[in-house]
Structure 1
């Protein structure tokens, strides 16, 4: 994966990105009053290879001037039918409001659909208002069965066959 959006580069995660990714996600969570959970909801960012690469998913980082300013990822899940879960879509405050989140979500959806998956699931927290609005505008429907303690919302979107 290597794409551009405006002055941003979206590329596949590399081992050297781990510390910057952990810092970015912990910072965004703290901004919304949520804690980073290294042994719980966020264990996947400490073990990207195991949770994403080994499971057939992808983890992307967004760079601006060689600094990581965002993340986006997905991996296959057992719930649903031939499904994935989009995870770790985070942007630092300085790059929000530029259409980057909408672009990332569309790119994730295209990659997921191209790989033949049928459903996308997303769990989030109500305090992440911008994320909730983005998912709802992109056609994600409220579902039940939140599995992550930090989250209080779950959404599902069925993909149309190519």
Structure 2
């Protein structure tokens, strides 16, 4: 697989089913609980609609018409402040180790700045080592407790970055 055939673009309705499957497959691969995580989010099956609001967007990694990863930005739920959340950033094995995570992170953070957010927050799991390395490399720092209320109570690593 060549990076020349890979496109990072905004999600479209025809991507919804593939994106939901990518996210669920990655969560199963990593043994993530099905409750208290993105796995249980009702929005997984309607991602285009979920990210159609103002100050929200979701990007996919399209390899010759097949979705192999994605990530989004949206206002942080149940939080009073100008903070967005990096959401549902997952990649299939064939997308990993190719620099696509950094490209996706750059696209999401650029869009967050365009939306006017001051900070970006995320939640993850402690054993998602490669993801946590990418987040740290991108300037995210650990928090002692969560912000807002995303409903992802099984995620117990919280990070934030000034934009």
Match of 1:43 in 2: 42
In structure 2, which of residues 27, 30, 48 is the aligned counterpart of residue 29 of structure 1? 27
C-alpha contact (below 8 Å) 1:25/1:36 kept by paired residues: no
User: 5 Å matches for 1:99-118?
Assistant: 99-118=99-118
Secondary structure in 1 aligned to 2:16? Answer: helix
Ranked by relative contact order (alpha carbons within 8 Å, sequence separation 6 or more), the top structure is: 2
User: 5 Å matches for 1:49-88?
Assistant: 49-77=48-76, 78-79=78-79, 81-88=81-88
Distance in 2 between the 1:125 and 1:51 partners?
23
Structure 2: stretches of 5+ with no match in the other structure: none
Could you tell me the TM-score, scaled by structure 1's length? 0.85
Secondary structure in 2 aligned to 1:136? Answer: helix
C-alpha contact (below 8 Å) 2:23/2:39 kept by paired residues: no
Could you tell me the TM-score, scaled by structure 2's length? 0.85
* Displacement after TM superposition at 1:8 (Å): 1.0
In structure 2, which of residues 148, 154, 163 is the aligned counterpart of residue 150 of structure 1? 154
Structure 1: stretches of 5+ with no match in the other structure: none
Residues 35 and 65 of structure 1: is their aligned pair in 2 closer, same or farther, counting only changes over 3 Å?
farther
* Displacement after TM superposition at 1:17 (Å): 1.2
Aligned length: 155
- Shifted more, 63-72 versus 78-87: the winner is 78-87
CA offsets, 1:17-42, max 9 Å, x none?
Answer: 11111111111111101244599753
CA offsets, 1:106-158, max 9 Å, x none?
Answer: 11111111221101001111121111111111110111226412311010111
